[in-house]
Amino acid sequence: MAWGDSPGHECGIFGIYAPHEDVARLTFFGLYALQHRGQESAGIAVSDGRRIHLHKEMGLVAQVFNEEKLRPLKGYIAIGHTRYSTTGSSKLQNAQPFVVESVLGPLAVGHNGNLTNAPQLRRELLTRGVGLISSSDSEVITQMLAGGEGRTWEEKLRVFMIRAEGAYCLTVMTRDTLYAVRDPWGLHPLCYGHLGNGGWVVASESCALATIGATLERELAPGEIMAFDERGPRTIAHSPAPQRAMCLFEYIYFARPDSIVDGQTLHAARVAAGRELAREAPADADIVIPVPDSAVPAAIGYAQESGIPYQEGLIKNRYIGRTFIQPDDRLRKLGVQLKFNPLSDSLAGKRVVLVDDSIVRGNTSGPIVRLLRDAGAVEVHMRVSSPPIKHPCFLGVDMATYPELIAHRLTLPEIRDHLGVDSLAYLSLEGLIRATGNSGKGFCNGCFTGNYPVDVHLLEKEAFEG
């Protein structure tokens, strides 16, 4: 997916119970592995068995933490969070984890997702006199747990799941226990593994476990609540929805290609999507090139199935997107040239299949096509390894609004002409689901079809701003 056209990622959550480890340091590296899921803020909270110590700031994980910031975070349980805002703007008050005191002791919460009934829940808290310092639905979750019904944390978590609607994966840390919660639809991934020496790790993606040397056990089931403490891991509740609804965009773009979902790497699923795309939408061309880096697996699959040679045609500057320094007017006018440089030797005189994993707004695909033509490509046939995105996401992804979505505004021929390509084709929804290898399981396809697994509401991202 082209830089500037990608949907906002979600959030990355991490949790660890490990009495014999430096849990803050391991959480740092776990968050580093989940940096792709959110780049706005990062935070780590650690429990020493009596109190919770917290540090969070705006910025990338490596900008927020150093040896000096990690040193005070002593304890044996930790949770971490790296954020992309979906509800609530990008500012420190909305950074996670949220930490509060309650009648049962200290509580810290990290959240990935979006509650669709957040306005109602927020209003109930304010009516009860609960003061809220942020505009994030994640603080609503924290306060619901801190002051909700139930005599124990386990009871409070069960009550929360009855009240909450929408998407949520949670790491919840009390004084002496780590909890992990996945919503009943299983909208976003959450897994756990063991570290040895009685240590247990929870993360949004298995790549974070591998980074710190933990062994993947399994994914949490939809509707499952797990506890990790001195007794080891245990399931304390399991209340799935009638049908699973895993987010298809995890397969297309969000999750790292080396992460494992439903028993296979995302790389394998994306290669399979490329093969499906080649079968559905062949092209008469000389080379297949990806929009790097996210479309590389799909382009490999397209080349394998079509027999057209795979080649690199665009070189990506991988560090442009990791700076908060904004380009000046002159650099801004260069647009995608800040991010991509074409390989003229590979492109000159060639008919090119350009593979991308998705098109959201379409505001960078056209400039990329012009880059290829300026470098000598005689034909550009664009192939997209996902269906047209016609609807926003209300379940934890900052996808864009209806007016911003190019496939909502324009027909396929109009998009083709707008991008300046010789031909354009998208992968069908059926082909995408086949590529996951899990056709019998349910998926959320709301951004493609407008059919969401739960009731959704048109809520502005900054609706709770003061």
Contacts for 281 with CB less than 8 Å, ≥ 6 apart:
383, 425, 426, 427
Question: Distance (Å, rounded) from C-alpha 212 to C-alpha 168?
Answer: 24
Both tokens of 314, joined, read 């665009």
Query: 169 - beta bridge partners?
Result: 112, 182
Give, in order, the Cα–Cα distances in Å from 388 to each of 162, 187, 235, 357, 405: 34, 20, 39, 11, 9
**Does 393 count as an annotated binding residue?**
yes
| Neighbouring residues of 123: CB distance < 8 A, sequence distance ≥ 6 | none
Beta strand spans in 84-157 (E):
98-102, 105-115
Rounded CA separation 104/294 (Å): 45
Rounded to whole angstroms, how far apart are CA atoms 107 and 409?
45
The verdict on whether residue 169 carries a ligand-binding annotation is no
207 is in an annotated binding site: no
Alpha helices in 103-182, H assignment, sequence order: 118-127, 137-147, 153-163
Cα-atom radius of gyration of the chain, to the nearest Å? Answer: 22
- Per the CB < 8 A criterion, the answer to whether 13 and 192 are in contact is no
Other Cβ atoms less than 10 A from the Cβ of 232: the count is 11
Taking the C-alpha atoms of residue 216 and residue 205, their distance in angstroms, rounded to an integer, is 10
∠ CA 419-421-425, nearest 5°, is: 95
Question: Kindly report the CA angle at 149 between 45 and 126, in degrees rounded to 5?
Answer: 75
| Largest CA-CA distance found in the chain, in angstroms, rounded | 72
Would you say 138 is a known binding-site residue? no
Helix, strand and coil content of the chain, in percent to the nearest 5, comes to: 30, 25, 40
Q: Is 247 annotated as a binding residue?
A: yes
Counting Cα atoms < 13 Å in the Cβ hemisphere of 427 gives: 31
Ligand-binding annotation for 444, yes or no, is yes
Query: Which residues pair with residue 107 across a beta bridge?
Result: 100
d(CA 37, CA 112): 10
Is residue 286 marked as binding? no
Instruction: Tally Cβ neighbours within 10 Å of residue 218.
Output: 10
- Beta strands 314-316 and 52-58: pairing type? unpaired
Q: Active-site residue numbers? A: 11
**What are residue 58's DSSP bridge partners?**
41
Kindly give the interhelix angle for 137-147 and 153-163, rounded to the nearest 10 degrees.
130
How far apart are alpha carbons 188 and 174 in whole angstroms?
A: 23
Q: Which residues are annotated as a binding site?
A: 247, 294, 356-357, 393, 444, 447
Q: Which residues are annotated as a binding site for [4Fe-4S] cluster?
A: 247, 393, 444, 447
